[in-house]
Amino acid sequence: MVIYLSPSPPSHSSTSILRFSNSRTPISDSSFKPKPHFPRPLFSHSLTFKKQFLHHNNNNNNGSTRFTHGNRVDFRTLAIPGFDYGNFEGPQSVLEAAAVLTAIIVVHESGHFLAASLQGIHVSKFAVGFGPILAKFNSKNVEYSIRAFPLGGFVGFPDNDPESDIPVDDENLLKNRPIFDRVLVVSAGVIANIVFAIAIIFAQVLTVGLPVQEVFPGVMVPDVKPFSAASRDGLLPGDLILEVNGSQFRKPGPNSVTEVVDVIKKNPKRYVLLKVKRGMQDFEIRVTPDENYDGTGKIGVQLSPNVKIEKVRPKNLVEALNFTGKEFWGLSSNVLDGLKQTFLNFSQSAGKVSGPVAIIAVGAEVARSNIDGLYQFAAILNINLAVINLLPLPALDGGSLALILIEAVRGGRKLPLEVEQRIMSSGIMFVLLLGLFLIVRDTLNLDIIKDIL
């Protein structure tokens, strides 16, 4: 699975693109790293990740900035200097993240399955994962299975199955149904993910409330690596950086973290003057960044915006629905903006696409954080999956919808079967190879693997 890509066998799939920020990222690793995506057969899905930060802010009179629900995509404190998904700490959090991804896959494929079944269209398979079958059972002429590779899932149709005993002219084969019926089946996975995302946000609103962030000037230092440049020169966890080289930050929030990171990266082995607040005292510290392997500076700290988070709970059902709508719109806008930026800066964004290993690592980190983050993680994955699957690319739901649209424009005349199969097969092969590549790459990026190697 890839939240930004997708591999799988013949069917319809989904994918997603987003950016996550994490407060556990040392400046030593100050390059942004991405996240995951899935594949799909007949109706499958895929996910993919990138980094994204919150915006849409209003300035308060006290100089702080308030970020309200609906404008937020952060899971903890928004550490900008890169995303660290190297650690798979805590088996419970890993299982929680895997359960979220599995639920999203099942929901997506269930959308396709129900849309077909309720219309009386023949369905032959419902699978979670791809490749060799690990477990299966049959019910009402449908094979339900769990497969070896967690790259997504698919719903299979007997339309072109040579082993099927259903006549090729059966009106209940998917290929023989009217255009509207097929559009409904193909788009049902996306609709299911959107509905699921809204339900998750609504549950969050009712159970734990929505976080509201108030952002203050300065950059927090949550942690300092032992024996790092920061530790050597006197920076301590809990310090608040107010200025860098005599300059105040232009804007509070994630941008201020970026300013610190940029100055440090540009000054290896040259001191950087930091004005720091520690308790009630303000003083200056000269930090000399060590040189990273790529020639940039690093000091070995975690950084995050100086924020205060409060919970807002609805007073009644109407307000709960209002909160849910605003949050859904805010998250959707962030996902769409991330997709837009990806295409506008593809050469820089391509390396930030990651696979299922990174997605589970991100989810595990979120699960260790708090329940709020897990709600948002699930909601954003659903939205990403829906958006990516609508792209008119072979092997995605959008690709299947594009073929149906071409058929409609041609007055109901389909493209030759051989042409359709070549288009879909090429897309599926690309997505599978990309998914496997990302799995290998993201696995090699895990700290536990790096230690072994």
Decide: 378 and 385 in contact? Cβ < 8 Å.
Answer: no
Question: What residues contact 199, with CB distance under 8 A and at least 6 apart?
Answer: none
Task: Give yes or no: 319 in active site.
Answer: no
H helix or E strand, kind and range, residue 220: strand 210-224
Closest Cα partner for 85 from 47, 30, 31, 34?
34
Closest Cα partner for 60 from 238, 176, 212?
212
Dihedral sign for Cα atoms in the order 342, 324, 367, 385: negative
H helix or E strand, kind and range, residue 255: helix 254-265
CA distance to 54, 68, 203, 363, per residue, from 212 (Å): 11, 5, 17, 22
Q: Each residue of 126-156: b (16+ CB within 10 Å) or e? A: bbbbbeeeeeeeeeeebeebebebbbbbbbb
Q: 96, 109, 259, 420: which one is catalytic?
A: 109
Token representation of residue 263: 């100055």
Question: What residues contact 411, with CB distance under 8 A and at least 6 apart?
Answer: none
Just list the catalytic residues. 109
